[in-house]
């Protein structure tokens, strides 16, 4: 949801950056070290960390994703994100609430645009 808003913001600010959301799948990392069943099933069913990294590199370097941002990338392909994530009212609410929460830290930064609206 935030990906759509951030991508619009970057586009409106003439910044030559596109924003995508990636989901590389379930990756077997140390995050699962305290999940007892993951020790047994993780190596069989979860992806290796290298695969997760490849998905991020694919999203960053793919010529297909250079111009049109706001995509949801699952493994190595673009998939449709949920209808909820595409709702512009919810996107705007999340965007505005995020900036409200971040405001105490943004006040300390000099080069943040004064108009953070989409």
Residue 116's CB: how many other CB atoms inside 10 A? 15
The reported pLDDT for the residue numbered 109 is: 76
Paired with 21 in beta bridges are: 72
pTM of the model: 0.78
pLDDT of residue 118: 55
For residue 60, the model assigns a pLDDT of 92
> What is the pLDDT at residue 70?
92
Q: What is the mean pLDDT of each run of 10 residues along the chain (118 residues)?
A: 92 89 92 91 93 92 89 90 94 92 84 60
Sheet strands side by side (includes 72-74): 21-23, 72-74, 77-79
Question: pLDDT at position 112, please?
Answer: 65
pLDDT on residue 28? 93
**Amino acid 114: pLDDT:** 55
């Amino acid at each position: 949801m935030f990906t759509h808003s951030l991508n619009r913001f970057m586009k409106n600010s003439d910044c030559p950056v596109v924003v995508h959301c990636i989901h590389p799948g379930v990756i077997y990392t140390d995050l699962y070290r305290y999940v007892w069943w993951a020790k047994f099933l993780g190596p069989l069913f979860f992806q290796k960390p290298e695969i997760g990294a490849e998905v991020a590199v694919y999203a960053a370097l793919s010529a297909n994703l250079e111009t049109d941002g706001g995509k949801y990338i699952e493994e190595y392909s673009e998939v449709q994100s949920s209808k909820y994530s595409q709702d512009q009212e919810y996107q705007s609410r999340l965007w505005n609430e995020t900036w409200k929460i971040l405001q105490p830290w943004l006040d300390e930064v000099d080069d943040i645009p004064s108009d953070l609206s989409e």
